[in-house]
Amino acid sequence: MSTTRMIGLLVVLVALALPGAALAAAPTAALDRATRCLRDGDAPCALKSADRALATLPGDDTGGLRREALMIRAQALALTDRPEDAEAAFGRLRSAWPGWRPAPDVDPRIASAWSAARRAAVTAELPTTLDPGPAPTPAPMPDRETLPSPALYAPPELVALADAPAVPPRLHLSLGAGVGLLGGDAADRYEPGIHAAVDFIADLGDDGGFGVWAQAVLALLTLNPDLPTEPGTGAGLTVFSVAVGGAFTVPLVDDGEVALVAAAGVGVGSFGLGRLGDATGFAVHGTLGVRWQAEERLALRGDVAPLVILTPDLAPAGHLAILLRGETRF
C-alpha cells in the first residue's frame, strides 16, 4: 500500500472518530461548567449548563452524570427564586438519587425546596384509607355469668305461707297505774289513793274498731286521818273488781298512731276497810282515753276510768281513776 493511500485512510478514520468523541465530551464539559458556575454563585449559568448536560446525555444513562446534573439543576432553580420548579426538580432528584441530602449550611431556599419535595413524596406514598383489620374477639365471659341463676325448690305449702298476707296483731294487754279520786260525802272520809288496773282487748275485726274488753282493778284509798276510828279499823279502803264488756277504737289521725279508746263492761266488785268482803255487789267499769302507738307493738294510753259497785241494798259506791297505761299487742 502506498504512503498516500495510508494517509488517506487515517484521515477517514480520524474524521469518523471525532464526532463520537465530541458527543462523549459534550455532557461532561457542560456538567463541569455547571459545577463551576454553581460554585461561583452564578445560578443562571449553572441552570443553563445543567440543562445542556441533561439534553446531551443518552436516554439510557442512569449513572452519576444524570444524578449530578439533576442535583445542580434543582439547586440552581431554588437559587433563582423559582420554588415551585425547584420542588419539582428535587422530586426528580429524589427518585434518581434517594440518598442525597443537602449540606447543613446550604442556602435556606435550597433546604426549603428540598423539604417541600420530601413532604410531597411522603404524602403521595401514604395510603388514602387504612384497613381496620379483623374485628377484635370479645373477651370470654366468666363461667359464673354464663351459668343460670341457682333456683331453690320450695313446697307449694311453704310458698303459700310466704305469700299469705301478714295478720295484724289483734290482742292488746295493758298495765296501768294512777290515782283514785272520790266524790261527794265519800271525799270527806277518804283521800286519793293508788289505783292499779290490768285490761285486755281482743279485736274482732281487721280494722281493730271493736273488740271484747276485760279489766281487773285493785284500789287502795286512804282513810282521812282526821276522822276518829275504832281500834282495829283499817287505815284505808281496799277495792277489787273485775268486769267484761266491749271496747271501741277510733283513729284520730290518718296513720292510726293516735286513737281514741272507749270501753265499758259489767262484773262483780268487793270492798272493805282494811280487807275485802265487807261489801260485795254488781260492778260497772268504764274507761275513756287516748292511745299513742309508739312502736309496732308498744303503745301508751292515758285514761279516765270510773268504777261503780252496787251493793245488795242498791247503795252505789265507787270512785274515778286517772290512769297511765303501757300497752303491748300480739
* Span of 61-70, 90-99, 155-164, 296-305 with lowest mean pLDDT: 155-164
Q: Check whether residue 194 and residue 111 sit in a common domain.
A: no
316-329 and 298-310 strand pairing = antiparallel
* pLDDT at res. 23: 42
270 lies in some domain: yes
Task: Using the predicted structure, report yes or no on whether residue 33 has a pLDDT greater than 90.
Answer: yes
Same domain flag for 36 and 95:
yes
Residues 132-142 pLDDT 10s: 888 888 877 77
Q: Which of 137, 185, 191, 174 is nearest to 293 (CA)?
A: 174
All three cell numbers of 237: 279502803
CATH code of residue 226: 2.40.160.20
CATH number (domain holding residue 38): 1.25.40.10
Q: Which amino acid is at 255?
A: D
CB atoms within 10 A of CB 236: 16
Burial of 306 (0-12, 13-18, 19+ CB in 10 A): middle
* Residue 299 β-bridge partners: 293, 327
Q: What are phi and psi of 262, to 5 degrees?
A: -130, 140
pLDDT exceeding 70 applies to what percent of the chain? 80
Q: Which three cell numbers stand for residue 274?
A: 282494811
Last residue of a domain, one of 94, 125, 156: 125
The answer to the question of residue 83 being in a domain is yes
Q: Which domain holds residue 23?
A: 18-125
pLDDT(24) > 60:
no
Are residues 24 and 82 located together in one domain of the fold? yes
**Do 109 and 247 sit in the same domain of this protein?**
no
Do 298 and 204 lie in one domain? The reply is yes
Domain count, the chain: 2
Cα separation, 34 vs 76, in Å, equals 9
Do 176 and 325 share a domain, yes or no?
yes
